[in-house]
C-alpha cells in the first residue's frame, strides 16, 4: 500500500535541532573501549549506591586533608598545610573520629543521592548509538547535586562546625561529640531552622561542583578514549579524575569560602551577602581564593580515590554478572 505523500514527508523530517544539543552520536571505537555498554545487553545499569560507597572510601583516606582545607578559609592568618597535618595526626586523632561520624552521614545522604541520581539518569539517556551531550550531562549533574545537597544539608552544617572547631580556643567551640550530639545541641539552642543554615548557597555550590566533578569526569574520560590510545583502565580513570578535581577546586573555591563562613557563624542573621561584604572590606577581593592551595592538595587525592574506587566497583559488578567483554 502506498502511503500518502504528507505521511511520507512527516516520516522523513530531520530530527529537531534540539536533539543535537541533548544527545550526541557515540563513536564506535569509543563504544568498544568503554566498558559501560555490553554488546548483547546494551547499557549496563550499576547499583545506585556505588557512588556513595566510593565517596566513603575516599573520606576514610583523606579525612585529615579535609580538615586542613577548612581552617585557612576561616582564619585571617594562613597556616602552613604540613603543620596542620602534623597537628591533626599527633594531637587531634580522637577529634577526627568524631568528625568522621558527620562526614559519613553527609556521604550517606548527599554523596549517595548525587552520584546515584546522576548515574541512573545518565544510563537512562544512553543507548549503544547515542549518549547525553556535555550540556545534558551538566544539567543532570546540576539537578543531582542540588537535590543531594538539600537532603544532606544538616550533616554538612554539623561537619563544617566540627572541623572548624579546631581553629578556635576551647571556650568558643561548639564541642559536638558526634553527628547525633551536634544535631541535638544545634536544634535545642538554635531551633530547627539551624539545620537549613546556608542551604541555598550550599545547594548551588554542590550543583556546580557536581557539574565540574561528575560531568567533567565523563567529558574528560570520553575525550581521552576518543583522542588517545588509552582504554577503560586505571591510568585513564586517574587522568580524567585529576582533570575533574582541578576544575572543581578552581571554580568552587570562592563559593566554599563564603559557605564555610555562613554556616559556621555564631550569629543567626549572617547571610551570604553580609558574609561577602564583610570579608571583602576586611580582607580584599582575594579572600575568595583563601585556602586554594590546601584545597587543591585535598581535592586531587580525594577525587582520584573516588573515581578509581567507583570504577573498581563497576569492574567487580561486571565480573560478578558476566558482563566483562574487553580486557584492553
The neighbouring-strand residues paired with 131 are: 24
Q: What's the pLDDT at 218? A: 96
Distance, in Å, from the CA atom of 254 to the CA atom of 302, rounded to the nearest integer, reads 19
Contact by Cβ (8 Å): 42, 127? yes
> Within the chain, what is the greatest distance between any pair of CA atoms?
88
Q: What's the pLDDT at 319? A: 92
Q: What's the pLDDT at 266? A: 59
Q: What's the pLDDT at 270? A: 61
Distance, in Å, from the CA atom of 96 to the CA atom of 5, rounded to the nearest integer, reads 73
What pTM, to 2 d.p., does this model score? 0.78
Q: What's the pLDDT at 12? A: 46
Q: What's the pLDDT at 150? A: 94
C-alpha cell at 94: 580522637
Q: What is the pLDDT along the chain (328 residues), one digit of tens a residue?
A: 444 444 333 344 555 566 667 888 888 888 888 888 888 888 999 999 999 999 999 888 876 555 444 444 444 344 444 444 444 444 444 445 666 777 888 889 999 999 999 999 999 999 888 899 999 999 999 999 999 999 999 988 888 888 777 667 777 778 788 888 888 988 998 888 888 888 888 898 899 999 999 999 999 999 999 999 999 999 999 999 999 999 998 888 877 777 777 766 655 556 667 777 777 777 767 666 677 777 777 788 889 999 999 999 999 999 999 988 755 5
Amino acid at each position: 500500500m502506498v502511503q500518502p505523500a504528507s505521511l511520507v514527508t512527516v516520516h522523513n523530517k530531520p530530527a529537531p535541532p534540539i536533539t543535537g544539543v541533548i544527545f550526541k552520536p557515540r563513536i564506535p571505537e569509543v563504544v568498544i573501549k568503554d566498558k559501560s555498554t555490553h554488546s548483547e545487553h546494551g547499557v549496563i545499569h550499576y547499583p545506585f549506591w556505588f557512588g556513595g560507597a566510593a565517596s566513603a572510601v575516599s573520606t576514610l583516606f583523606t579525612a585529615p586533608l579535609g580538615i586542613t582545607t577548612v581552617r585557612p578559609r576561616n582564619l585571617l592568618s594562613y597556616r602552613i598545610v604540613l603543620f596542620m597535618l602534623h597537628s591533626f595526626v599527633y594531637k587531634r586523632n580522637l577529634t577526627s573520629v568524631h568528625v568522621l561520624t558527620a562526614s559519613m552521614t553527609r556521604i550517606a545522604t548527599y554523596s549517595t543521592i548525587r552520584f546515584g541520581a546522576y548515574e541512573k539518569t545518565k544510563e537512562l539517556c544512553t543507548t549503544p548509538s547515542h549518549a547525553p551531550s556535555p550540556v545534558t550531562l551538566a544539567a543532570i549533574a546540576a539537578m543531582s547535586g542540588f537535590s543531594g545537597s538539600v537532603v544532606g544539608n544538616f550533616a554538612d552544617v554539623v561537619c563544617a562546625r566540627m572541623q572548624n572547631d579546631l581553629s578556635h580556643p576551647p571556650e568558643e567551640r561548639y564541642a559536638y561529640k558526634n553527628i547525633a550530639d551536634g544535631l541535638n545541641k544545634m536544634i535545642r539552642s538554635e531551633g530547627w531552622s539551624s539545620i537549613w543554615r546556608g542551604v541555598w548557597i550550599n545547594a548551588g555550590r554542590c550543583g556546580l561542583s557536581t557539574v565540574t566533578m561528575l560531568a567533567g569526569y565523563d567529558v574528560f574520560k570520553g575525550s581521552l578514549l576518543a583522542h588517545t590510545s588509552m582504554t577503560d583502565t586505571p591510568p585513564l580513570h586517574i587522568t580524567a579524575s585529576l582533570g575533574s578535581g582541578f576544575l572543581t577546586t578552581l571554580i568552587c573555591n570562592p563559593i566554599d569560602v563564603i559557605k564555610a563562613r555562613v554556616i559556621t557563624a555564631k550569629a543567626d542573621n549572617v547571610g551570604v551577602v553580609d558574609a561577602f561584604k564583610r570579608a571583602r572590606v576586611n580582607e580584599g577581593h582575594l579572600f575568595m581564593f583563601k585556602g586554594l592551595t590546601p584545597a587543591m592538595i585535598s581535592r586531587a587525592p580525594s577525587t582520584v580515590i573516588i573515581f578509581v574506587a567507583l570504577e573498581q566497583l563497576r569492574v567487580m559488578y561486571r565480573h560478578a554478572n558476566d558482563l566483562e567483554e574487553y580486557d584492553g
